[in-house]
Each structure stands twice: as structure tokens, then as C-alpha cells.
Amino acid sequence: MPHITAEIISIGDEMITGARLDTNTQWLSQRLGELGVDVQFHTTVADTLSHNTDVFRIAARRADLVIATGGLGPTRDDLTREAIAESLGRPLQLHEPSLKFIESMFQRRGREMPERNQSQAMFPIGAVPIHNPQGTAPGIDVRAPREDGTQSRIFALPGVPAEMKTMFDETVAPAVLGSNGQRRHIAHHVMKFFGVGESDMEQRLGDMIARDRQPRVGITVSAATISLRIVATGETMEACGSASATTRDEILRKAGEFYFGDGETFEQHHAVVQHLNKVGQRLLLVELGRAAPLGDWFAAVSDEPGFTADVPAFVGGISLANVDDLRQWAGMPADASVETCLSALRQRVSADWVLLVDEYPSLHQTNEHPLPGGEVTFTVAAPDESFPSITQHLGAHPSILHARVAKAGLFWLRKCFPTDPSGV
């Protein structure tokens, strides 16, 4: 693939004033990077025609590919169509099929199209509309000639993230790949890991994360969970799928012991529920100290398709200040061991497993440790009346410390399961 440079333009007062955080640009930067495009500039501009026009002119001059989001709505604030037309020095003209499509969108909702929505069917001469299956605003695909005889290709997409993402995946990504004449298809596959640091993971993967590798492997970290994103491009979807599967196997050979599942939003608690559903067992969570994220996470899993069961894997969660309170809840004397308490609670609620987090550390920094953190003990009450436990010092940035502790607890619980729940 030839070297393609890109600029991403984000349009709207709400971004310029800081009222809304621009996440579209981050998403587009990641996707373009995966396609091998060299993103060089992001520009955000308010809903002002002259500024918009200038921004499109500058972008078309310095980037091969310009992806804009926002400003395609039907109101007077929506100036992207005019701005692109002005920057090209061409008038807008009505595109009849787009108008018919917008009218049909309103008809399906049993409403008449307001006159102002007609503006959404106006395109600069020479532009191709981009189909928007979810909304009334079609996108714009147009080429801007440059002084040196080359041209820049501009794609304008709506600002609504769901519409923008669909249109990028369905239209822009294939077009970018198609500029190479082959490899028009693209397949994404995300693998999840816990228990290994980012630099360790990079070392294990070695050449696999080279930017020019095919399929490409990208690494991102979110609250101590590592995601590896395999992006395969090819002439057919089958070719993408098979290249992706080979890469996946290679990754499992290098870092399989930390792998717990596939999918953008798949986390360890999904892996735990999946395993418990399979073996028909149930889990009680006891969280002590200054947080209780696990109760919230496991409650939410019950709502996700594919994770339900006749007897739900999650019995419930208890959040308490400390072990003394745990003894009181379990109805035990003040000198009772933690194991006795967990055993009593497990029986009372008919759980097979209990995971105790003792305890979520303070978010305050100490002189000893520049990052907040502390000693945390994870104790599991297993169905065979064993109580495997581990004590670790865990520290992290305050914004992710409690999530990190919770995930370390789930990592320990998964190690205590008799079979490897990851299914590797």
C-alpha cells in the first residue's frame, strides 16, 4: 500500500467550547492507523462558515485523505456541505435519490419531511453521497484537486458516533483499502489479556507488532486489561479470516497464559460467568474497603446476551468496611477466622464459590509508594472447602487502582477454578 497521509476534522461548537469531549477523532485515528494510514493532523473547528472553509482548504493541501465528522444535520448551524463546496469553489446541487431516501426515512416514521431537511440532499458538484443506513444525513465523498496535479480525497461523515462508525466501516475503510486496487476487505479481531504488563507483552510479541506486519497487531491497555487487535486486510473475507486465525494462534503460543477471551468489551468477569454457567456453579462476592466494583460488574453481566442461565452464576455481592463487619454479617464471634465467615455465608446463600477482596486500598499517595496502593489479600472459598489465598502489593494511578485490584481478584479466582476457564 502506498504511503497515505490523513487529517481528521471535527466540526461543532460543542467540541470547541469543551462542552463535549471529542471521542470520534480518537476512534478514527485508531481505525485509520490499522489501515496503515499515517494520520498527521486533527483539527476541530466551530460552526462558522469561513473557519470551516479555511480548515478544509488547509487539510486538502496537506493530507491525502481528509475525514470530517459533524455539521451534516438539517439546521442552519450545519455548514459542512457549504464549507466543502466553498473550499472547492463549486456550487451545491440537489441530489434527487438522496432527497427521496430522506423523505422515505420520514415516511417510515409516519412524519412529513420538514423543508429544512432538503438541505441534507445538497452536494458539491462532483461529490458522491455516502449511504447512511441509520440517519437522515448522507455523507460526502469528494476529491479536491491540488496545485501539483494530485488530489486529496475528502470524506464527510455525521457526528453521531453510531452513524459515523457504520459509515466509516462500510464505505470509507473499503475505499481507502481500494485505493490500492486489491485488499479491499478488512477483518478485526480483539483478544484480551490480564496479568501481564504492556512492555512484557510487547517483548513477547516481538516482530508481531511491527507496523508493516500483515495482519497488523495493535496493543492497547485499559485499566490493566491488555487488548490485542488483529486487523487483517485481503482480497476476500475468507482470506482475512484465515490470516487472522493464524495470527491469533501465534499470539496464544506467545502469551496464552494471560489470555482470557475475545471481543472488544469482553472482560474477566465475562470469562468467570461463562465458566460458572458451563459447570452450573454460583459465585458470591465479598468486597471490603473503599470500593465495590465487582458487585456492579457482575450485576450488569446478567443483562448481556449470551451470559444468562436458568440459575444465574452471580448469587450477589456484599460491600463492607472491614473483616469485623464481615464477622457481624456472617453472625460469627469476634475471633472467628475469615475462612469460617466465608463458609457460613456461602452456605446461607447456596453459593459454590466465594471471592473475598480484603481490602480495596486508599487512593491517597504515601511516601513509601509514589502511586497509591497497598497490600490486598484475595481469598477464595472453593466448593471442596479449601480456601486458597494470595496477598499482593497492588499500586496504580488513582483513576484505575480499584478496577485493577478487582481484576487481580478475578485473575486469582480463575486460577482457582479446576479447569482453565479461558478454554485455551
State the residues that interact with its own copies by CB under 8 A: 10, 15-19, 21-23, 25-30, 33, 39-46, 48, 51, 54-55, 58, 62, 220, 285, 287, 289-293, 295-296, 298-300, 302-303, 312, 314-321, 325, 328-329, 348-349, 360, 362-364, 402
With CA atoms as reference, report the closest residue to 160 among 187, 132, 184, 120.
132
Give the number of other CB atoms < 10 A from CB of residue 264: 10
User: Of 16 and 99, which CB lies nearer to its own copies in the complex structure?
Assistant: 16
Least Å from the CB of residue 94 to its own copies: 30
The Cα 116–Cα 105 span in angstroms is: 15
Minimum separation from the CB atom of position 244 to its own copies (A): 21
What is the torsion angle, in degrees rounded to the nearest 10, for the CA atoms of residue 58, residue 60, residue 66 and residue 69? 50
Q: Which is nearer to its own copies, 62 or 95 (CB)?
A: 62
Burial of 288 (0-12, 13-18, 19+ CB in 10 A): buried
Residue in this structure with the C-alpha cell 480483539, named with its chain if needed: 190
3-state secondary structure 348-404: HHCCCEEEEEEEECCCCCCCCCCCCEEEEEEEEECCCCCCCEEEEEEECCCCCHHHH
Nearer to its own copies, 260 or 298 (CB): 298
Residue nearer to its own copies on the CB measure, 10 or 120: 10
The CB-of-369 to its own copies minimum distance in angstroms stands at: 16
Please identify, using beta-carbon distances, which residue of 115 and 368 lies nearer to its own copies. 368
Which is nearer to its own copies, 169 or 238 (by Cβ)?
169
Beta carbon of residue 290, minimum distance to its own copies (angstroms, whole number): 4
Nearest-approach distance from CB 363 to its own copies, in angstroms? 6
Q: How far apart are CA 209 and CA 203, in angstroms?
A: 10
Residue-wise DSSP of 324-336? HHHHHHHT--TT-
Closest separation in Å from C-beta 246 to its own copies: 26
CA 299 to chain centre: 20
Distance in Å, CB of 50 to its own copies, minimum:
10
Q: Round to whole Å and give the CA distance between 176 and 314.
A: 45
Q: How far is CA 10 from CA 7, 14, 42, 189, 255, in A?
A: 10, 10, 8, 27, 38
| Closer to its own copies by Cβ: residue 133 or 181 | 133
